[in-house]
Structure 1
Amino acid sequence: MRRRDFVGLTGLAAGACFLPNFPSLGGTPVDPARLLEGIDPALKKRLADAALNAAKSAGASYADVRIGRYLNQSIFTREKQVQNIVSGESFGAGVRVLANGTWGFAATNTVTEASLAKAAQLAVAIAKANAKVQKEQVKLAPQKGFGEVSWKTPIQQNAFEVPVAQKVELLLAANAKATDNGAAFVNSALFQINEQKYFASTDGSYIDQDVHRIWPTFSVTAIDRASGKFRTRDALNAPMGLGYEYLTPKAADKVAGPAGSGVVGYRNSYDMLEDAALAAKQVKEKLTAKSVTPGKYDLVLDPNHLGLTIHESVGHPLELDRVLGYEANYAGTSFATLEWKAKQIPYGSKLVNIVADKLQPGSLGAVGYDDEGVKTKQWDLIREGMLVNYEKIRDQAHIVNQAESDGCCYADSWNSVQFQRMPNVSLQPGPAKHSVDEMIKGVDKGIYIAGRGSYSIDQQRYNFQFGGQVFYAIEKGRITGMLEDVAYQANTQEFWNSCAAICDQSDYRLFGSFFDGKGQPSQVSAVSHGSSTTRFNGVNVINTARKIG
């Protein structure tokens, strides 16, 4: 590789590197104008029937087919420069079958009746070969067919219809707001995804879905040139299951953080310019902020921070496949085993009510039907601090003596096998009116934390450590100044049992993970986590800048 090529490629990559766990969106590069093309549902039905009929003729007892067109567009900028614009498309079909009580799967990117029939026959042959070594037959929870139905993310403006120049203008304007307010560097990006998914099965379902997601984000850096010290702050918004209307700010969607912090939260619309300007001011303040003194603190956690803790310490450990050990050699198992649940050990305090939800408007995980053709729903995971249920799909329900799937099966592409994925998992707001400022008044020695930072958690989702974006000291009921080098350590049980207060519905907001990884081969999914600002008493805080020894 020539040096010029190397520098060019690494420069483009730098625009993405500030994003945690940034993956390749995949797909074939495509002219943005083609992103608005659609596929006739009648054609998709004929293609699906070709696969289903071929599977049954080859000996399948059950079959489903997913015809998917996956579109993405990503725009990266830095200060006054556009670094990269990528529009991609991936189109194909995957066929999953049960034959002799065993799964088989095959996929094709040649989307014709003959190719889908051939893929179905191959899937059956694979299933029959697998059956020779499988010890226990697959047991599918019953699922009625829905006939021909459709569902679409209830967007107001398709982001793919908005001219690229307009999106670039917004990102560059956000960059300018940051630099005008003292930032040395700023990267910004806009991710858009559209999944056009058609599902059909021998149960009698033909389900056409059009799913949209969007994520505007940035990272702002300030530098003390005398010392070489630098600090960063990322966007304090969330990716959402919305259209481009998310980037038209509405005053009603703005939620103020506690007095003295300057933090602003956002619901169903996001003021990127306001957030970028505030980020620049906060990173300059972080350069001179006091380093935290380790010890026990009451933590007041903003929803844009708490969502990640929910994701790692509740969402993942309650995935039934993880509980059963299927994820043991990649992302760990779970402490919350069936035996642990049977002992009725409190997961959290009585204030903790956590639900799984695939219906929540605006959330990343909202769909009408999952990738097994199951109609989605909401269900309890933790009720008054006690674990009451897990997240499960059709071939897992019988393991916990349940009669139906929870509707949380997902594949990130037509050529990926669908499997159990985390639904939206959210902490319910407190029932009584309780503001963030009222919560702060009840804290004698504490820290307010907003934004997602670095984190780690063990293979059983039990012992963990979380950082954040901005930290403010709370002394005798009021915010007294910014802190730095903050992270808290706990285990899942002691943390959720320390939950002492939750703000009401008026403070409720979503956090989102746009690229949540799981499985081998690895797949990504998008999921939201809602909460109101919440207080946890007596949590151990460490100083991340201090050296040991």
Structure 2
Amino acid sequence: MQRREFVQLAGLGAGALILPMSMMGNEIPVEALLDPGMDVAMKKKLADVALNTAKSLGASYADARIGRYLNQYVFTREDKVQNTVNTESFGIGIRVIADGTWGFASTNEVNEEGIKKATQQAVAIARANSSIQKEPVVLAPVKSHGEVSWKTPIKKDFKEVPVSEKVDLLLSANAAAMDNGANFVNSALFMVNEQKYFASTEGSYIDQDVHRIWPTFGVTAIDREAGKFKSRDALSAPMGMGYEYMDGLASEKVEGPNGLILYRNSYDMIEDAKNAALQAKEKLTAKSVDPGKYDLALEPNHLGLTIHESVGHPLELDRVLGYEANYAGTSFATLDKWKSGDFKYGSDIVNLVADKTQPHSLGAVGYDDEGVKTKKWDLVRNGVLTNYQAIRDQVHIIDQNESHGCCYSESWNDVQFQRMPNVSLEPGKEKYSIHDMVKDIEKGIYIAGRGSYSIDQQRYNFQFGGTLFYEIKDGEIAGMLDDVAYQSNTQEFWNSCTKICDKDDYRMFGSFFDGKGQPPQVSAVSHGCSTARFDDVNVINTGRTV
């Protein structure tokens, strides 16, 4: 990455994230985002060049992915625009099996000559790799889909919304925070459109148009006399939606304890920024928590991260098998626990599902990146570990003959591999609200939003913080707390789950930049749940030193 690109894309405000290469590409004029790009007939013709070349060279299987990745980012701070960025990345990735071994190559020369060269390289790499391959690749069968398409069901394409409108929204949110006591505020909009075309020697030609959006901000309030500062981040969730997510419809709001406003499938950024400033100021005088055992009521924007780290990652089959040990770690949820058929991952009411079809989720697509139609399946049912996340060349290891449809690559330039689907906790079946839950707790803490966290390399022992904390005494909110984090291990934690709110409280958390693999790639994934209660959990005070 060149220094100029780094400063443009990663150096300012909420853009301080180091963005992956697929989220960058070449900078383009904003109007170029509306260019329709290559038509489907030409994509099919060029994909066939790759497939036919691979077969002529003796490959037993080949797939080609033509990808156009469009990104727009807007960054602001207080009353200033820090940066607006529009990028495009376009190319083709070709994956083959030759001599029983995978080979992959890619090129941004999306023409017959460039594609033939890349395909020849992919086959040569496969043959070179075959000398150290211990067992041939075994692919689960997949249905040939013919020529099909899928689109994120958006109502408003971000590419058609003027940048000035997006800037006005961010600056208005900043002003709302500043007017209500914030000393500093930065905000950002991340918008992504993946235009992906997949073709394989098994007869599938799949065209997909995927949209994602993430509005976010950070607010800081300062007590200069006390020398203290406190922050509150946005309570938004990244979503698989169009710009309609920013409409902030009142019907999509959920009122939590103490008048806390939470959002579902629609987001009022200005209102959230105003409340963030007020709550950041309140945190300056909040009571520091007394460490001990508490019953926790964890709202979805918070619990989603715990699901991600303690369920999503440990149930990735490649991680279970040790393939990710060097980079991301291994998993406590080993094959022997699954084979036993009675490993209690959680209490009887805990049902955790993987789902690549979930509406509005970041992971929602019609087909994965190896042409498998996506679906929903159980990971934990009635508290018992029942399955993992696996793709075509993995499922035979767990005695299954159908891919789960969770293969993904962050761009045309990277090989596809197993990635986490949306992993979610099913809501409770009985009518039960967060207000009912608070009334049922004698000594507890309600936690909203994400915070700092730590989890070991087997995804077992962990510690999680949050954004907002409210003490619960004898069934009522007793005031705001600070310096809260809870500690547990995955099995103990999920077995302590005693109550889950119903579907009316169900919302999603999301990760826009979930990293995995070497070389590293990112993917976007959501985690849905309703507010859930966990009993007798160890809470520490993060502000005290021993």
Alignment equivalent of 1:494, drawn from 492, 495, 501: 492
The AA in structure 1 aligned to 2:27 is: P
Matched, 1:131 2:130: yes
Matched, 1:289 2:300: no
What is the 5 A alignment of 1:531-546? 531-546=529-544
What is the 5 A alignment of 1:296-315? 296-315=293-312
The AA in structure 1 aligned to 2:179 is: D
Secondary structure at 1:514's aligned position in 2?
strand
The AA in structure 1 aligned to 2:396 is: H
Deviation at 1:10, TM superposition (A): 9.7
Aligned to 1:100: 99
Aligned to 1:440: 438
Aligned to 1:116: 115
Aligned to 1:27: 25
Aligned to 1:331: 328
The AA in structure 2 aligned to 1:296 is: K
Q: Is 1:456–1:464's contact at 8 Å kept on the other side of the alignment?
A: yes
Q: Distance in 1 between matches of 2:182 and 2:468?
A: 16
Deviation at 1:367, TM superposition (A): 0.1
Matched, 1:530 2:531: no
Q: Distance in 2 between matches of 1:125 and 1:338?
A: 35
Residues 435-469 of structure 1 deviation map (CA, whole Å, 9 limit, x = unaligned): 11110011010000000100010000000000000
Q: Distance in 1 between matches of 2:79 and 2:254?
A: 30
Q: Which runs of 5+ in 2 are unaligned?
A: none
Q: Is 2:102–2:126's contact at 8 Å kept on the other side of the alignment?
A: yes
The AA in structure 2 aligned to 1:429 is: P
What is the 5 A alignment of 1:28-427? 28-38=26-36, 39-258=38-257, 260=258, 262-343=259-340, 344-427=342-425
Q: Distance in 2 between matches of 1:345 and 1:415?
A: 40
The AA in structure 1 aligned to 2:303 is: L
The AA in structure 2 aligned to 1:272 is: M
Secondary structure at 1:373's aligned position in 2?
coil
Q: Is 1:12–1:84's contact at 8 Å kept on the other side of the alignment?
A: no
Residues 389-446 of structure 1 deviation map (CA, whole Å, 9 limit, x = unaligned): 0000000010001011000000001010000000000000000000111100110100
The AA in structure 2 aligned to 1:494 is: E
Secondary structure at 2:458's aligned position in 1?
coil
Secondary structure at 1:402's aligned position in 2?
coil
Secondary structure at 1:118's aligned position in 2?
helix
The AA in structure 2 aligned to 1:86 is: V
Deviation at 1:149, TM superposition (A): 0.3
Alignment equivalent of 1:469, drawn from 434, 457, 467: 467
Cα RMSD (Å): 1.4
Residues 33-69 of structure 1 deviation map (CA, whole Å, 9 limit, x = unaligned): 1111122000000000000000000110000000000
Q: Distance in 2 between matches of 1:342 and 1:110?
A: 47
Q: Is 1:11–1:83's contact at 8 Å kept on the other side of the alignment?
A: no
Q: Distance in 2 between matches of 1:441 and 1:160?
A: 46
Residues 11 and 408 from structure 1, CA distance in 2 versus in 1: closer, same or farther, beyond 3 angstroms?
A: closer
The AA in structure 2 aligned to 1:321 is: D
What is the 5 A alignment of 1:510-525? 510-525=508-523
Residues 327 and 537 from structure 1, CA distance in 2 versus in 1: closer, same or farther, beyond 3 angstroms?
A: same
Q: Identity of counterpart residues, as a percentage?
A: 70
Q: Is 1:175–1:186's contact at 8 Å kept on the other side of the alignment?
A: yes
Deviation at 1:212, TM superposition (A): 0.2
Matched, 1:482 2:480: yes
Q: Is 2:12–2:75's contact at 8 Å kept on the other side of the alignment?
A: no
Residues 427 and 56 from structure 1, CA distance in 2 versus in 1: closer, same or farther, beyond 3 angstroms?
A: same
Secondary structure at 1:327's aligned position in 2?
coil
Q: Distance in 2 between matches of 1:9 and 1:94?
A: 29
The AA in structure 2 aligned to 1:500 is: T
The AA in structure 2 aligned to 1:197 is: K
Q: Distance in 2 between matches of 1:545 and 1:154?
A: 45
Secondary structure at 1:132's aligned position in 2?
helix
Aligned to 1:15: 13
The AA in structure 2 aligned to 1:388 is: T
The AA in structure 2 aligned to 1:108 is: T
Q: Distance in 2 between matches of 1:386 and 1:433?
A: 24
Q: Is 2:15–2:188's contact at 8 Å kept on the other side of the alignment?
A: no
Alignment equivalent of 1:456, drawn from 439, 454, 457: 454
Deviation at 1:132, TM superposition (A): 1.2
TM-score (norm 2): 0.97
Deviation at 1:345, TM superposition (A): 2.0
Secondary structure at 1:407's aligned position in 2?
coil
TM-score (norm 1): 0.97
Residues 12 and 315 from structure 1, CA distance in 2 versus in 1: closer, same or farther, beyond 3 angstroms?
A: closer
Residues 94-114 of structure 1 deviation map (CA, whole Å, 9 limit, x = unaligned): 000000100000000000012
Q: Distance in 2 between matches of 1:521 and 1:360?
A: 29
Q: Is 2:346–2:496's contact at 8 Å kept on the other side of the alignment?
A: yes
Deviation at 1:22, TM superposition (A): 5.7
Q: Is 2:141–2:401's contact at 8 Å kept on the other side of the alignment?
A: yes
Q: Distance in 1 between matches of 2:337 and 2:375?
A: 26
Q: Is 1:106–1:122's contact at 8 Å kept on the other side of the alignment?
A: yes
Deviation at 1:18, TM superposition (A): 6.3
Q: Is 1:69–1:197's contact at 8 Å kept on the other side of the alignment?
A: yes
Q: Distance in 1 between matches of 2:132 and 2:379?
A: 35
Q: Distance in 2 between matches of 1:342 and 1:407?
A: 22
Q: Is 1:422–1:527's contact at 8 Å kept on the other side of the alignment?
A: yes
Deviation at 1:342, TM superposition (A): 2.4
The AA in structure 1 aligned to 2:294 is: Y
Q: Distance in 2 between matches of 1:133 and 1:286?
A: 58
Secondary structure at 1:405's aligned position in 2?
coil
Deviation at 1:16, TM superposition (A): 2.8
The AA in structure 2 aligned to 1:338 is: L
The AA in structure 1 aligned to 2:223 is: D
Deviation at 1:486, TM superposition (A): 0.3
Q: Which runs of 5+ in 1 are unaligned?
A: none
Q: Structure 1 residue runs of 4+, over 3 Å off?
A: 8-12, 21-24
Secondary structure at 1:233's aligned position in 2?
strand
Q: Is 2:289–2:483's contact at 8 Å kept on the other side of the alignment?
A: yes
Q: Distance in 1 between matches of 2:527 and 2:358?
A: 10
Q: Distance in 2 between matches of 1:26 and 1:164?
A: 18
